[in-house]
Structure 1
């Protein structure tokens, strides 16, 4: 019988953790959550998250976000990919464009981890 290891995304790891002020975070938990907080710590990614969240219908295309930055479209796409990979954004492709949407539950989980958001 083989043992399978459950791999959690950073957002899933945050969702299963108690608030930091309630009990100490395990070393394993900190390792799993750090990529999420690292993604949020980048000023460009933090702004992108805010721009997507505040965009009409809570959804934005890369083409809608380029003008807010003095960065190339591939660089913006890279930052959006990082946010998607840690679980903060969902994405869907429509024709040649990719549209991004905030995962509200992921942000609520981050807030709960830090102890500032009640669910």
Structure 2
């Protein structure tokens, strides 16, 4: 995952409502109506947030009858977590290793 992709994902989840939606979906698949019960905003606002999350591939969506069901993309979340961990922890893949000696004091 490159820095541009990582930055885009972090921008998407930086919204507190989207972060709460992700937290709710961490419990399992939910329909839009179940999600809406947890918020004080309208259905169009929820749709806006869900569109951002779906477009960034953070969540998957499917239709079940007249309901729209949502679930987390756990593979992408694991990749996101691993990328953040690799930035935080000094390792062989650390960006400092590709720099000239003495430039990075990690």
Deviations 1:61-97 (A, max 9, x none): 0000111111001111110111111111011012221
Question: Does residue 1:107 correspond to 2:77, yes or no?
Answer: yes
CA RMSD of aligned residues (A): 1.3
SS at match of 2:57: coil
Is there any run of 5+ residues in structure 2 with no aligned partner, and where? 87-106
Q: Distance in 2 between matches of 1:53 and 1:60?
A: 10
1:31 Cα offset (Å) = 2.4
TM-score, normalised to structure 2's length? 0.75
Q: Which has the higher contact order (CA 8 A, sep 6+)?
A: 1
Q: Which has the higher Rg, Structure 1 or Structure 2?
A: 2
Question: Does residue 1:68 correspond to 2:38, yes or no?
Answer: yes
**Runs of 4+ off more than 4 Å:** none
TM-score, normalised to structure 1's length? 0.67
Question: Does residue 1:82 correspond to 2:89, yes or no?
Answer: no
Is there any run of 5+ residues in structure 1 with no aligned partner, and where? 1-13, 15-28
Aligned length: 86
